[in-house]
């Protein structure tokens, strides 16, 4: 009898037996991989949801920008500055440093000027009040401005945006053709910058020009 055939037969038998086992293990591996993938997708979905929530929340800068656009920041800066000085009338308010702060000038009952700086929202004093050096002529002029201005700074700003809808970035009392006026720089809703003067007593428009300077 040729005994060399038996080892070959045994090897074939072992191979046939191993195939079902390999298939079972392969299917189990696929099932496990699918489960892992599902877990990964779930984590990704949770991460995306969290990112979406973060992106939908308004940033501090966006909130400040909105306050500037609707005029509430200017109103707040005026109120905050007056409270810091204790009394007096605001004769000038100006946006500074690209809109990151406000500079407000308050004249007290003696005609002296106080400079106050606030944050972008106008809610917090960041510097001052600082008393500015004034001579007798300055005091006389300041008192004349305050006496002539039946409209205060907040009322004047409201009148200006009735003329040019937009954002007031600077506002101050000055003389123009022998009359006391509120002069304002306004960025219109279309991005055009205007220089507007209104009568400080009546609110009537005196001039309204487009600033074409680069």
CATH number at residue 97: 3.10.450.40
Encoded tokens for 33: 């991989």
213 pLDDT tier (thresholds 50, 70, 90): low
Q: What is the chain's mean pLDDT, rounded?
A: 76
- Classify strands 205-210 and 193-199 as parallel, antiparallel or unpaired: antiparallel
Pair 92, 79 in one domain: yes
Pair 120, 142 in one domain: yes
Candidates 101, 98, 114; CA nearest to 73 is 101
Count the Cβ atoms, other than its own, within 10 Å of residue 127.
11
Place of tokens 């006389």: 140
Pair 29, 73 in one domain: no
The tens digit of pLDDT for each residue in 51-87 reads 444 444 444 444 345 445 568 899 999 999 999 999 8
Pair 29, 47 in one domain: yes
Separation CA 76–CA 154 (nearest Å): 9
Pair 93, 29 in one domain: no
Pair 45, 143 in one domain: no
Residues near 26 by beta carbon (within 8 Å), at least 6 away in sequence: none
Say if residue 1's pLDDT is above 90: no
Tell me the residue range of the domain where 131 lies.
62-210
Pair 67, 53 in one domain: no
Pair 46, 68 in one domain: no
124 pLDDT tier (thresholds 50, 70, 90): very high
Residues near 58 by beta carbon (within 8 Å), at least 6 away in sequence: 66
Please count the structural domains in the chain: 2
Predicted pLDDT at 109: 86
């Amino acid at each position: 009898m040729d005994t060399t055939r038996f080892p070959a037969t045994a090897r074939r038998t072992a191979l046939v037996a191993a195939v079902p086992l390999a298939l079972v293990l392969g299917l189990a591996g696929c099932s496990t991989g699918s489960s892992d993938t599902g877990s990964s997708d779930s984590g990704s979905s949770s991460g995306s949801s969290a990112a979406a929530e973060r992106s939908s929340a308004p940033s501090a800068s966006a909130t400040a920008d909105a306050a500037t656009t609707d005029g509430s920041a200017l109103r707040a800066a005026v109120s905050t500055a007056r409270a810091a000085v204790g009394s007096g009338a605001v004769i000038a308010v100006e946006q500074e440093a690209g809109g990151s702060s406000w500079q407000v000038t308050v004249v007290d009952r003696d005609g002296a000027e106080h400079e106050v700086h606030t944050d972008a929202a106008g809610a917090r004093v960041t510097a001052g009040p600082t008393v500015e050096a004034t001579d007798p002529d300055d005091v006389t002029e300041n008192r004349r401005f305050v006496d002539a201005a039946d409209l205060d700074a907040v009322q004047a700003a409201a009148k200006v945006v009735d003329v040019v809808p937009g954002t007031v970035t600077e506002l101050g009392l000055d003389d123009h053709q022998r009359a006391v006026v509120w002069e304002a720089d306004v960025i219109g809703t279309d991005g055009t910058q205007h220089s507007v003067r209104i009568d400080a007593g009546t609110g009537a428009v005196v001039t309204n020009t487009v600033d074409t300077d680069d």
